[in-house]
Amino acid sequence: MNKYLYGLLNGCSTLTEFQAAQGANYTTDAVTGCVQQTGGTVHQVNGVAGYAVTNQNSSSGGGAVGGYFQGRVLSGPTNAAAWGINPLVQDTAGVTGHQIAGEEVDVNFFGSPARVWGIIISGASTGTAPTGNGNAGAIEVRAPGYAGNGVKWVTGVNIETGATSGAAIAINPQAAGATQNSQTLQFNATNGASGTMTANLALDVNGLMNIPCGNANVTYGSGFNAGSITTGHTGFCAFAVAIGVGTAGSTGVINLPASASGWVCNAQNFTRAAQIQMTGSSVSSVTLTNFGTTWVATNWTNSDTILVQCMAR
């Protein structure tokens, strides 16, 4: 260990503590504090502590900061890495009944502040952020055993009971302006045949929730007088079938993403009064039959539009 300024209390060893977490590695420290709690009447022991108070107007400055930490990558290197702060907490194998927290942020307000936050993630960036999930996130949750030992969090993010008086999570507009859709909640899944499947949940400018049906689309199977699935829909929740002008028939098959137990679909003729029923269902398709107004199987009428809604069972 290379230490310049350091304070060691109650037999605490910086080498022992660092290598307990970082293996047989070493570090160079400009300022180091190490203390072992041995009892007594104090509230807690601090390896490093900073305290700041103010009664000044801070509208044009940074205010009082109890601890300021900064990391910076200089020009030149291509694979450098810097952290502003890197807390670590760990226990010892075999101990029980204790509690550990990687970081605790407490906020005590006894007056009436104009604004108050627990954590702010901000900055003054002017560069180009990397693309792709996991490459540029304000918060990223990784498994505590992310090195591959299978240990995982029980909950990624937990909003404790009674923690908020309003929204537990507020998703605001995509940008400033009078007419903006909300930002999205993105859900990703993987499929061995199709790759990554993505669906986004958002509120549009008309106050309607865009409930996604995934990017696994519906496709034409057969029948419908050689018809087709029209474009412009968002998935299997709501779409349209255009009746063709080919060989006449009373049925049509729609191909759907594979489901666990099959599909339930409702359909109505948007062009004329007619009764349409689902007469067949598999894990990846449905059959619709036109019963017209006579309640018997009736050929589709050329060029009609059939509106369909499907849900997986």
Residue 299 lies in a domain: yes
The reply to whether 36 falls in a domain is: yes
Q: What's the rounded Cα separation, in Å, for the pair 154 and 152?
A: 6
Cα separation, 235 vs 24, whole angstroms: 54
Confidence of residue 236 (pLDDT cuts 50, 70, 90): confident
Q: Contact, 297 vs 290, CB < 8 A?
A: yes
Residues 226 and 185 in one domain: no
Q: What is the mean pLDDT of the chain?
A: 91
Q: What is the pLDDT of residue 72?
A: 94
pLDDT cut 90: percent of the chain above it = 74
Question: Is residue 148 pLDDT above 80, yes or no?
Answer: no
Residue 250 domain flag:
yes
Domain interval for residue 284: 219-312
Domain final position from 194, 212, 230: 212
CA triplet 50, 53, 57: central angle to 5 degrees? 135
CA neighbor of 257 nearest in space, from 201, 310, 187: 310
**Is the model's pLDDT at 21 over the cut of 90?**
yes
290 domain-assigned: yes
Q: Does the pLDDT at position 199 exceed 90?
A: no
Using the 3D structure, point to which of 212, 235, 264 is the last residue of a domain: 212
What confidence tier does 216 reach under pLDDT thresholds 50, 70, 90?
low
Query: Does residue 167 sit within a domain?
Result: no
One domain, residues 202 and 225 = no
Residue-wise pLDDT tens digits, 39-59: 888 999 999 999 999 998 877
Q: Please indicate, yes or no, if residue 296 is contained in any of the structural domains.
A: yes
Residue pLDDT, tens place only, 248-288: 999 999 999 888 899 999 999 999 999 999 999 999 999 99
